[in-house]
Amino acid sequence: MGLIAPLSGRAAERQMNSCFRTDSSRQDKNAGIETIITALGRDHQFAWAMTTFRNALINLSLLAGAIGGIGLPLAAQAADTTPAAQLQRFGAEAGAPGNAPKGQAFFNARHGGEWSCSSCHGAQPGQEGKHASTGKKIAPLAPGSNPRAFTDSAKVDKWFRRNCKDVLSRECSATEKADVLAYLISIGA
C-alpha cells in the first residue's frame, strides 16, 4: 500500500476546514472524512479504519435516537419536576388550588366535542389508555401508577396544549389544568 502525499501548512488546514463547511451542492456525503485523511497523509489502512469507525458512530447515534426513551430505566428519563410542583405551578397561575372533584368531572366530560380526556386515557387514568383514533397504547396518566407522569415540564406543557386543543378546541386554563392534575394525583396506584 502506498502513502497518500500529505499536505503541509496552510493548504492542509484549508482542506481540513473545507470538509466542515455546509455546502448544499456537495453530493458526496463522505467527502469530509476523506479530506481529513488526505490532509493527514495516512495510508489506506488508516483510511479504512477511520471510515469504519465513523460508520460505527453513525449507526450508534441512529440506534440511540431510535430507542429515544423507549424502555429505558427511569433514571435515564428527564425528570426536572414533580407532579406536586406542577400542581403548585398551575394553582399559582390560577390563583386557587386544584379541585380534584372538579378535575374528575372535567376529565370525563366531552365539552361539546367528540372527545373527552377519558376517551384516550380511560375512565380509570391509573390504568393504561388507548388513543381513540390510532389505537396506540398510552401509559397510565395518574402519577400513582406511572412514576414518570408529570415529571418533565416541557412534556407536561406540550401534552396539555395538544390534548386540550383536541378536547376543547382551545388551550386549557390554569384552573382547568390544576383541577385535572389534582384529580390525577388523588388517584392511588
In a domain, 138, yes or no: yes
63 and 90, same domain (yes or no): no
54 and 122, same domain (yes or no): no
* CB 168, CB 106: distance < 8 Å: no
Domain that holds residue 26: 9-67
Q: Is the pTM of this model over 0.85?
A: no
Segment among 11-15, 39-43, 54-58, 133-137 with least mean pLDDT? 39-43
What is the number of structural domains in the chain?
2
Kindly report the three-state secondary structure assignment for every residue of 107-174.
Answer: HHCCCCCCCCHHHHHCCCCCCCEECCCCCCEECCCCCCCCCCCCCCHHHHHHHHHHHHHHHHCCCCCH
Of 67, 89, 110, the residue that ends a domain is: 67
61 and 111, same domain (yes or no): no
169 and 142, same domain (yes or no): yes
**Collapsed DSSP state (helix, strand, coil) of residue 34:** helix
What's the pLDDT score for residue 71?
A: 43
In a domain, 52, yes or no: yes
